[in-house]
Amino acid sequence: MFTPPFILSIAGGGSTYTPGIVKSLMVRLQDFPLAEIRLYDIDEARQNTIAPVVEKVIRDHSQRIKFTVTSDPEVAFSGAHFVFAQMRVGQYKMREQDEKIPLRHGVVGQETCGPGGLAYGLRTILPMVELIDLVDRYAHEKAWIVNYSNPAAIVAEGVRRLRPNARVLNICDMPVAAMRNMGAILGVDRHKLEVDYFGLNHFGWFTRVLVDGEDKLPELRKHIAKFGLLTEDAAKTDPQHSDPSWVKTWRNIKPIMDNFPEYLPNPYLQYYLMPNQIVAHQNPDYTRANEVMDGREKKLFAAAEEYKRTGILPDAFHVGVHGEFIVDVARSLAFNLRSRHLVMVENRGAITNLPYDAVVEVPAYITSEGPEPIRIGQVPLFHQTLLQQQLASEQLLVEATIEGSYEKALQAFTLNRTVPTMEHAKAILDEMIEANRDYWPALQKAWQDGE
């Protein structure tokens, strides 16, 4: 363990999430003392746009914290204790492609699920490994990378294969966002909930929701049967995911639980269990990436502009579970608090009927040496089978990336539940290869004509 105050670097400093994360850090300074915050991004211009907003957030709380903005990895990571990673390789422009290419073939177009997630994985694994190596070279030897970079399941598997000893903790805010909604429905603070959960990232189920030792899942089931996983007043429940498409997503917990009421699904299961409805509601010319570019991103850039002109910073970003969660996890790592959080971790028998080496998402106690998962035991055949298939798709994608294998990429696409046929898989993959020329490793066919 290292002694506070800490040096913290944010890799992907130009993200729209950076101000919210930094705000969360500022309100927790007593619990998580910081000497310096460094923003690091390879897109200097974008980071320079966001940086004054971040600086203002810091200065509203502290004059002492040193603030550094850099594109130089040595400056960014030297002596750092924590690195919060949130890279988006190819930015929203490429997210748009991930969503639109599958949709043109009548297949779910999504950032982390289906072909879009696989494409994003092929872009992100190797840059993530580069980041790990830079942190390894420059940062404190016990530094922790807390990683939000998507597609988190694939990134985590890639890191496990390529850098098995790296001190990286892969996290996602979706379970905790779901818990916030549960709390709102039950009328209790989300910190009062203790949940059991099993699955992969963006692919899992809550099996128990305890409040003071009592399982509230039956009460939630009744509510969800009417409203989905939202209070009646949707906007109040979730300021971060309040766009209409997110409201729809939370509502879709209802049709899933109407059919499978036993457990409460991660919202992302809608893409695998009801892809037809999803595609029917998606506009192939205007997807979530467009919504985000025209919404969250534009609003923040406009606020940065206005702040530069007037010195007044308009209200332009959310402070919510996304920022709170990463700070909670980092605190537990820093001070060996052993707090219980849902994180990604190598299975190692936690789920007895999934492979030993699978990266799973389960509750774990976060110690200064990393997560200690709780024991889940055996999961039902239905869930196990869904998980195995998804895991295989993601693992093949990782192998495709590492080996530069076209066949394995095609297998990954074909195995994904969102993709109906081999022909769909191939057509989408081939278009994506074109669109990702600047980002993907070259994929070779082992059995090419004439070889």
Rounded Cα gap, residues 170 and 185, in angstroms: 28
Is 173 in contact with 148 (CB distance < 8 Å)? yes
Task: Count residues near ligand G6P (CB under 6 A).
Answer: 9
33 to 164, 331, 366, 445: CA distances (angstroms): 30, 10, 19, 52
Least Å from the CB of residue 180 to ligand G6P:
11
Is 292 a binding residue for ligand G6P by CB under 6 A? The answer is yes
Least Å from the CB of residue 243 to ligand G6P:
7
Nearest Cα residue to 169 out of 346, 419, 305, 291: 346
Query: Which does residue 292 bind out of ligand G6P, Mn ion, none, counting CB within 5 to 8 angstroms by kind?
Result: ligand G6P
Is 359 a binding residue for Mn ion by CB under 5 A? The answer is no
Least Å from the CB of residue 149 to ligand G6P:
9
Per this entry, what is the length of the chain? 451
Is 150 a binding residue for ligand G6P by CB under 6 A? The answer is yes
Q: Is 268 a catalytic residue?
A: yes
Query: Which does residue 18 bind out of ligand G6P, Mn ion, none, counting CB within 5 to 8 angstroms by kind?
Result: none
Choose between 9 and 150: whose C-beta lies nearer to Mn ion: 150
Mask for 163-192, x = binds ligand G6P (CB under 6 A): ---------xxx--x---------------
Q: How far apart are the first and last CA of the chain?
A: 55
Mask for 105-124, x = binds ligand G6P (CB under 6 A): ------xx------------
CA angle 198/204/210 to nearest 5° reads: 55
Distance of CA 244 to the CA centre of its chain: 20
Is 174 a binding residue for Mn ion by CB under 5 A? The answer is yes
Is 50 in contact with 18 (CB distance < 8 Å)? yes
Choose between 112 and 414: whose C-beta lies nearer to ligand G6P: 112
Contacts of residues 273-277 at CB distance under 8 Å and 24 or more positions apart, as own/partner, are 275/107, 275/108, 275/114, 275/417, 275/418, 277/252
Spot the catalytic one: 17, 120, 268, 406: 268
Rounded Cα gap, residues 402 and 85, in angstroms: 21
Residue type for position 151: P
Which of 190, 288, 408, 424 touches ligand G6P (CB under 6 A)? 288
Nearest Cα residue to 394 out of 153, 192, 131: 153
Least Å from the CB of residue 201 to Mn ion:
6
Query: Which does residue 288 bind out of Mn ion, ligand G6P, none, counting CB within 5 to 8 angstroms by kind?
Result: ligand G6P
Is 26 a binding residue for ligand G6P by CB under 6 A? The answer is no
Q: Is 271 a catalytic residue?
A: no
Residues binding ligand G6P (CB under 6 A): 111-112, 150, 172-174, 177, 288, 292
Residues annotated as catalytic are 173, 268
Residues binding Mn ion (CB under 5 A): 172, 174
